[in-house]
Structures are given as C-alpha cells and as structure tokens.
Amino acid sequence: MNRIHKKSALGQTTPLILAAHDRGESLLWGRYEEQVPLCAFTANGLNCRKCFHGPCRINPFGDQPTRGVCGADRDQIVMENLFQATLEGVLERARTISSLDESLSDQEFPDLDSDFPHQTRKTLTNHGILPVRKIQILAVQNSYFSHKGYLTKTLKDLTRMGLIHYGLLKGLGKYVPSSGTAESRYDPERANVLIVGQPPANHISAFRKRIQEGEQGQKINLWLQGVRNLPAFPSIADHGSPEMALAMNLDALIIYPGAHLPSLEDLAKKWEIPVLLGEEDKGIEWIAGQALELALDHQKKKGRLDSSRIPPSQPPRVSIFDRVRDIQEALSTGQIEGILAIWAEPNVKQTFFERTLTLMENALEEKFLVFLGGEAGAQLNLLDEELGRRMERKPANLPGAGISFLNTLRSQGEISEIVAFLRNLNPEKEFNEMPVVVSFPELSRTSTWALAVSFLSLGFTVQLSTQLPFWGSPSLSEVLLKEWPRISGGILLASPTVPDGQTQAQEIRSYIKSRRFAK
C-alpha cells in the first residue's frame, strides 16, 4: 500500500535518478518509502495538536477514541487541520513577498473589486467578506471548533483567507519578469549556481550586478528554483525537485530561508557541491563574491566531462493576456473550446507529472487553451517534449493568430493577470459560468492549497487531484463541496478517492463542454 511504482513520467528524469542511485541516494522517494504505511489518522486529518492536552487522534473507523481530550469530534478536528493548512499557506506567501520587497508588507491590497464578476462581488459583499483587508489575517479563526453552530463563520473566514492570499499575489504583479531578459543570458560554458529559498530583493540585485559587471572569468549562470515570484534569473528545469538539480552537476548551491527541502545541504556536501547560506553576517557582497569564486573553482575541478545535464532555459513564450479580442474570436468560432489553467507541483505520492501530462494531452486534443503554472511551468520544455512523444504532435498554434494553445504562467505575479484576462473575455459572466477549469493535478505545499482556496473564493471551478487531509470527516467535506458555491460561486471538484487521470480529464471535458463564454 502506498508504494511508489513509477517515479516520474518524464523519460529525461531517469538518468538523474540513476546518477543519484549510483551515489547511494534514493532522494525523496527513498525517504517516502521509509514512512509508509502512512498513519491513517494523520492522512485523513484526524489528529490534532492544537493544544498541549494533546496530541489527540480520532479513530477513522468509528471505534474509540471518537473525541479529543477537549471533546472535539472528527468534524471539528478535520476543519481545524484544513483551516490551519490554509492559514499556513497564506502566511508562507506573505513571508515570501515581504522578503522580496519589504515595502509591500506595509501596503494595503490594490483594489480587488474590479477582479470579481458582478454576482460574485455582490454575494461576497452580502456575506460581509468584501471588502477584504490585509489586517484581517490576524482575526480569522476556525470558530467551528468552539461550537458547530459557527460553521458558516468559519467558511467565510476560509474564503476571506483565499481573498487575502489573492490580494498578496496581486501585489506581486509588478514583479512579473519580462520575456527574453534573464533567459537570453544562459551560457552552457558557464558554471551553474542554484538559489533555493527566498532571497531578498537587494541580494538579487547584488548577484545580478556581479554577473553583469563582474571581472572577466566570473561568469556564471544563476538559477532559481521553481516558478514563484522572483524576477531576474531563470527557473531551473529541475524535473520537479531541487534534489534532481543537484544531480545535474551544479557548481554551487545557495540556501536562503524558506527553502523547502532540508535534505539539500547534506546531499550537496556529499556530492562535493559548495554550499553557502544566503543570509550570513558577512553581507551580500561577500556572499556573492564567495559564491562565484566557489562555483568557478568547482567547475574547474570538475572539468567539462558531464556538464550537459542542465538543459538550456526555455525560450520565453509571449504572454497572450493582451490578446483578448483574438481569443474571444477563436472561442466564438470554435477554434478554442475552453480554457484549462493547471497549477502543478509534484508530490512524492504521485508519479511526477503523470497526471499533469494526462490533463494537458486531453486538453490539447479537445482544443482547450492551456495555461501551465507552478513548478510544472519551469519544466515546460521537458513536458512539451514528453507530450510530443505521446501525441506525435507539432506545436499547436491557432491558425493565423500566432497564439499557442500551450502557455505558461512565468510567476505567481501573473495570477491576477490571468483572472483579469478571463474576466475580460466576457465581463457579463461569472467565472463558474465560463468553460474554464483551474486544476491542481499534483500539489504538495500549503501555499499551493491556499492558491486553490483563492480561486474558489473568486468563484472559479477548481479540480483537485491530491488527497488532502479533509476526507476524515465525510460530512464536513460534503459541506465544503456544497457551501463554496453559496458563498463565492466557487465549485470544488474533488472526492475522497482520487479518480485516475483519464477520468479527471473526462470531468474537465464534460464541465467545459457544458459552459459557454458567449451569452
């Protein structure tokens, strides 16, 4: 049970896994295997660490214990876990943003009103959820834990958190990297340095300056992990995990606070890759200088024997957000049948990118415009290559319009842009009336779940494919499925047993075909 059958759907990942295996490392899959069988209490959200009377756990099969020490039952405990995961996700995003630009922390959200379709705005206002303010994050709570009569209050606070999260992302709009800047600087001859975590903006500028103006010979490619919100340097196509990037012959690793895999330091040291902490007392100039020196030194020692595993960064794809008229036209003539936005980051419990590829393949066959974001966005070339193999397809463009069916979201700062784009396609329609689905075929971080809550809170239809710990309370999950449409219009497509990829693709197809953009 819960064993891993296939690690990744990307054929190009196999040599990296084998290279790690040859060095005695089984990476995150090996550590996952050591965890199984997973605790059924925890996996279903039936354990609680809210106070020090506990931790408590509820028997998932109806036997004792059915209540925590305080008397909380499975519904209350599951909601608490869901609530805390959402809050953690929103706070993680807030921390990332303030590390990027401290001044953003002091600013109130930009105006959100124009982002909502008419009915959604009205409903959220009637529920007292709009207007939403950043400071409200200090007041949200799972009131349902106190008394079950407060369920609606808690659901409103969940929605409020989703909108606060969206407001934070909207503030990042000015940090969307422009096409063709960092990407064009990639040079396969240079040493490669990977930054993980959350570097402050002044550190990014210092690195950039060093690279642009550095002495001859101090030439490196600087990579960031994932498609988050940082401009300036390209995201590395790490096949879904920075552990794999280490197997790609990096020359140095810089770890900042907020990095997600504590394994990286040990692994890098074992493989003799220099590691630096980004926030040392010695200051950024010293860190930048040291990183370049160590990386170049490492590259010299290593030689050029096997330095080709880091794929060139993907060519910048042109954003289509300013092509509303063309897309409206294509939708009305049936050249485009609908829109699928995918936000994906691998989860060790699922074959990396398998479900994402299945949804992409089906969507392209059905002539759905696809937007790909999250960690998957950084792997677009790899995914595209794999799709090409599966579908024997050529790049799919709209005839005459020069618009690709396959698009990426280059950073989380583009979330508000895609919302505005969809809204402009027909300002008269609610999001859940449009042939649009936002899918999370694989996810692992609470901030990504917070993004799903944001889309639900904006009134979108959201499909989930990773089992989240709220199915331990069937009645509560039922409420979530039924109540979100009432509060914001958001529709959650999720079930306790995640169906296979083809079934989920069929769910998207049926949903999209039941909607129209036009009146």
Interface with ligand SF4 (CB under 6 A): 48-51, 53-56, 68-70, 72, 77
Please state the closest distance from residue 151 (CB atom) to ligand SF4, in A. 18
Q: How far is CA 363 from the centre of its chain?
A: 20
Residue type at position 454: S
Please state the closest distance from residue 142 (CB atom) to ligand SF4, in A. 11
Please state the closest distance from residue 473 (CB atom) to ligand SF4, in A. 13
* Residues 240, 257: Cα–Cα separation, whole Å: 20
Residue closer to ligand SF4, measured from CB, 7 or 74: 74
Q: How far is CA 13 from the centre of its chain?
A: 20
Please state the closest distance from residue 43 (CB atom) to ligand SF4, in A. 17
Question: Taking the CB of residue 134, how many other CB atoms lie within 10 A of it?
Answer: 17
Is residue 188 within 8 A of residue 116, CB to CB? The reply is no
* Residues 350, 471: Cα–Cα separation, whole Å: 18
The tokens describing 371, both together, are: 């937007």
Measure CA of the first residue to CA of the last residue in the chain; give whole Å: 49
Residue closer to ligand SF4, measured from CB, 54 or 131: 54
Is residue 48 within 8 A of residue 80, CB to CB? The reply is yes
* Residues 207, 292: Cα–Cα separation, whole Å: 9
- Nearest Cα to Cα of residue 335 among 383, 402, 267: 402
Q: Beta 491-493 vs 406-408: how paired, if at all?
A: unpaired
Please state the closest distance from residue 39 (CB atom) to ligand SF4, in A. 16
Please state the closest distance from residue 57 (CB atom) to ligand SF4, in A. 8
Phi, psi of 255 (to 5 degrees): -105, 125
Please state the closest distance from residue 158 (CB atom) to ligand SF4, in A. 19
Please state the closest distance from residue 81 (CB atom) to ligand SF4, in A. 10
Residue closer to ligand SF4, measured from CB, 77 or 443: 77
* Residues 87, 158: Cα–Cα separation, whole Å: 8
Residue closer to ligand SF4, measured from CB, 49 or 304: 49
**Whose structure tokens read 């959350």?**
198
Please state the closest distance from residue 494 (CB atom) to ligand SF4, in A. 25
Is residue 233 within 8 A of residue 240, CB to CB? The reply is no
Residue closer to ligand SF4, measured from CB, 114 or 146: 146
Residues in Cβ contact with 70 at an 8 Å cutoff, skipping those fewer than 6 apart:
51, 53, 56
Residues in Cβ contact with 24 at an 8 Å cutoff, skipping those fewer than 6 apart:
none
What is the enclosing helix (H) or strand (E) of 437? Answer: strand 436-440
DSSP, res 339: E
Residue closer to ligand SF4, measured from CB, 68 or 377: 68
Please state the closest distance from residue 42 (CB atom) to ligand SF4, in A. 13
Residue closer to ligand SF4, measured from CB, 55 or 173: 55
Residue closer to ligand SF4, measured from CB, 53 or 122: 53
Residue closer to ligand SF4, measured from CB, 65 or 110: 65
Question: Cβ-count burial of 227 within 10 angstroms (0-12 exposed, 13-18 middle, 19+ buried)?
Answer: buried
Residue closer to ligand SF4, measured from CB, 60 or 173: 60
Residues in Cβ contact with 424 at an 8 Å cutoff, skipping those fewer than 6 apart:
324
